[in-house]
A and B are shown apart, each in its own frame.
Chain A
Amino acid sequence: MTHNPLVPINGEVITILTESHDVKTFQVRPEVPMAHMPGQCAMLSLLGVGEALFSITSPPGRDYLEFSIKRVGKLTEALHQMEVGHQVGIRGPYGNHFPVEDLKGKRLLFIGGGIGLAPLRSLVQYTLDRREEYPDAFQLVYGSRSADDLLFRRDILNQWPEAPDFKVDLTVDVASSGWDGHVGFVPAYLEALAPSPENTIGITCGPPIMIKYVLQTLEKLGFKPNQIVTTLEYKMKCGVGKCGRCNLDEHYICKDGPVFYLSELEQIKCDFC
């Protein structure tokens, strides 16, 4: 009998970075290497606590996988208590990935909100690693609740703005002392920035309400549904299209998604988009 896909393998936590008061990034080295593509996810588990699906935020080609995890529930609380050297259960990678072939020769517009930057980061880094295939302009519009909640500061403040032809536009929902950047919600900021849809693909991830309005804003800016890509999140248990809870119309987000073009979502009986 072949291997039960629900059984995880061991992975070792090799680095932990604190991103904000409630987000940490964990570098996990699985005991058997796992090859993934940007946008894919993996199941992390702590035996005795539980298991959940997280997007892989690191680009392919590293000997570890990175997961940026917000502390919101029982499992994520326990994950936040981990220290370097601890073991986690890991299985995957699951799902489809960002359409990296379609993005070649296109200007890339990334729009992220909060922890939603995690899956986009894998794609940003993947394309930066292959700039000869993705030579056109990059733009990131990224927002969070407050300046303290901006994640991946090393990337958004240092590494990415220094990359050639890469514009980073940051915004926060609520102003605070020490923040002299833009204040306002991501969709409104996006509309004000008015990036051109010409030869551009917009790729977005964030809280469901943000995705909803970003999709509308992009269309208002002239982006066609086949120029808009998003990645969705539902509660998931099996990760392999069987346990039934992450369906959107006939699709299982864990297996057929999580990445969809808006042109695909428009054909789907969608609960929130």
Chain B
Amino acid sequence: MMMVKLPGYEMLIHYLQQGLGEKQVFVPVSEEGKEGHVPLGSLNKVDLAQMTALTFQEKPLRNSIKSLFFPDTETYLTYRKEEGRMVMETPGEMMSQILVGAKACDLESLNLIDRVFLADPVDTLYAEKRAKTLILAAPCRQQGTYCRCESFGVDRINPAADVTMYQETADAAEPLYLKSLTPAGETFLEEMMKCGTEGEAVAVTEIPWQAVPPGEKPLSPQEVKDQMDTLFEHPLWEELAMRCLGCATCTYYCPTCHCYDIRDFSRQGQEAGERYRTWDSCMFTSFTNMAGGHNPRPHRKDRIQNRFFHKLNYFVKKQGPLACVGCGRCGDACPVGISMDTVLNRIGGDRHDA
């Protein structure tokens, strides 16, 4: 393990900017209320104060990090006709990535997606991005006001990353401490210091950072699953369907939702084109509507029920954990205020909501 103290966030950004030709670096940015990780190289100006604030805020960014590993649109095949034969080509190797300022909840969501995408047969598009991304995470000192990470067993203090970042306060002028957690993280810090980055190696004990211990007991996936089993025929789903607009915003913001569609794009009268995958949502009728007209989930009630059952019941049965990290984005973004809590409260016996 290696520990480094830099005079400020600026030194880290300065070092990352030097290596941009070889690596893609994603940093937290908020522009007109749109929060997410964007390529450092695409910024005209680095707003250090904002970047520091976003890195060390006690909640995740509005847009999750899943798009860095599972882009909303991704071409995996290009084709063209040559001398009557279809020639197919797959994309070349990707550039390595560095992700700065990930939160523990989002990293846990990647662990959940890993269970699906890295299972046999391995999703190579996702696996390559997982393997080639170095993650610098920032722990949360306490649980955010609208966060439920503790209920979902996320260790917000010890994110599963290559390097953890600490600052005493979220001020860009404060010293920035970096602690490696993996060999790749250690190599990163070593190289950063070798390049003459202003700063010094320090002992772990020097980090002026104290976290508030978790205050909530994690939900038992088995208990939630069992409770959901009793709710399958419940009128709750019909009630939620009356409110739900079917807009799928919840699934796009959800860091664990990983459903996708496969589509073709063609040029020149179908003689050349691309096949790509793109995020899809179980909230849409077209998700399950078959050619010929049969739809196993024709009603909004069926779809909303399936969505919550997938997160709180089916995933538990197949994989073990709940398919939710308690980030709160779905409820935050939902135009009609349906959240994970809406269902969890009902499981807990509440009758006022929905």
Partner of A4, one of B90, B297, B314: B90
When each residue 45-79 of chain A gets 1 if its CB lies under 8 Å from chain B and 0 otherwise, what string results? 10111111000000000000000001011111000
Minimum CB–CB distance for B321 against chain A, Å = 13
Interface of A is mostly: loop
Given the interface pairs A7-B90, A234-B290, the reply to whether A247 lies near B310 with Cβ below 8 Å is: yes
Partner of B124, one of A4, A47, A50, A244: A4
Q: Count how many chain A residues have C-beta atoms less than 8 Å from C-beta atoms of the other chain.
A: 45
Selecting from A126-134, A221-229, A235-243, the interface stretch reads A235-243
A139 within 8 A of B: no
Minimum CB–CB distance for A135 against chain B, Å = 37
- Of B93, B282, B291, the most chain A CB neighbours within 10 A belong to B291
Given the interface pairs A235-B290, A237-B261, the reply to whether A247 lies near B314 with Cβ below 8 Å is: yes
Interface positions, chain A 1-32, Cβ under 8 Å from B, are 1-8, 10
Partner of A2, one of B124, B261, B296: B124
B349 within 8 A of A: no
Minimum CB–CB distance for B329 against chain A, Å = 18
Interface positions, chain B 146-193, Cβ under 8 Å from A, are none
Instruction: Give the CA-CA distance A48 to B296 in the complex, in Å.
Output: 27
Interface positions, chain B 268-300, Cβ under 8 Å from A, are 270, 273, 275, 277, 280, 282, 287-292, 294, 296-297
A96 within 8 A of B: no
Q: Indicate if the CB atoms of A6 and B76 lie closer than 8 Å.
A: yes
A231 within 8 A of B: no
A106 within 8 A of B: no
Q: Indicate if the CB atoms of B86 and A87 lie closer than 8 Å.
A: yes
Q: Which A residues are in CB contact (< 8 Å) with B263?
A: 50
Q: Which B residues are in CB contact (< 8 Å) with A6?
A: 76-77, 125, 262, 277
Selecting from B113-121, B133-141, B205-213, the interface stretch reads B113-121
Given the interface pairs A47-B79, A48-B273, the reply to whether A250 lies near B315 with Cβ below 8 Å is: yes
Q: Indicate if the CB atoms of A238 and B262 lie closer than 8 Å.
A: yes
Q: Indicate if the CB atoms of B270 and A48 lie closer than 8 Å.
A: yes
Minimum CB–CB distance for B264 against chain A, Å = 5
Instruction: Give the CA-CA distance A2 to B121 in the complex, in Å.
Output: 10
Q: Which B residues are in CB contact (< 8 Å) with A246?
A: 288
Q: Which A residues are in CB contact (< 8 Å) with B122?
A: 2, 5
Q: Indicate if the CB atoms of B258 and A242 lie closer than 8 Å.
A: yes
Q: Indicate if the CB atoms of B121 and A5 lie closer than 8 Å.
A: yes
Partner of B125, one of A4, A233, A241, A251: A4
Q: Indicate if the CB atoms of B261 and A247 lie closer than 8 Å.
A: no
When each residue 193-211 of chain A gets 1 if its CB lies under 8 Å from chain B and 0 otherwise, what string results? 0000000000000011000
B217 within 8 A of A: no
Q: Which B residues are in CB contact (< 8 Å) with A208?
A: 294, 296
Minimum CB–CB distance for A152 against chain B, Å = 19
Interface positions, chain A 232-273, Cβ under 8 Å from B, are 233-235, 237-238, 240-247, 249-251, 269, 271-272
Instruction: Give the CA-CA distance A74 to B286 in the complex, in Å.
Output: 14
Q: Which B residues are in CB contact (< 8 Å) with A87?
A: 85-86
Given the interface pairs A2-B124, A47-B275, A250-B317, the reply to whether A73 lies near B291 with Cβ below 8 Å is: yes
Residue of A nearest to B290 (CB): A235
Q: Which A residues are in CB contact (< 8 Å) with B314?
A: 247, 249-250
- Of B86, B88, B263, the most chain A CB neighbours within 10 A belong to B86
Interface pairs (24), CB distance under 8 Å: A47-B86, A47-B266, A47-B270, A48-B264, A49-B264, A49-B270, A76-B291, A208-B294, A208-B296, A235-B287, A237-B280, A238-B260, A242-B123, A242-B258, A243-B259, A243-B262, A243-B277, A244-B280, A244-B282, A247-B306, A249-B317, A250-B314, A269-B232, A271-B302
New contact pairs (13) apart from A48-B266, A72-B291, A250-B313, CB-CB < 8 Å: A1-B128, A4-B123, A7-B88, A10-B85, A47-B77, A51-B262, A207-B294, A235-B289, A242-B116, A245-B259, A245-B287, A251-B318, A269-B232
Residues of A within 8 A of B (CB): 1-8, 10, 45, 47-52, 70, 72-76, 87, 89, 207-208, 233-235, 237-238, 240-247, 249-251, 269, 271-272
Residues of B within 8 A of A (CB): 76-77, 79, 85-86, 88, 90, 93, 116-117, 119, 121-125, 127-128, 232, 258-264, 266, 270, 273, 275, 277, 280, 282, 287-292, 294, 296-297, 302, 306, 309-310, 313-315, 317-318
**The 9 residue pairs across chains A and B that have the minimum distance between CB atoms:** A73-B291, A244-B259, A48-B266, A48-B270, A250-B314, A72-B292, A5-B121, A250-B317, A250-B318
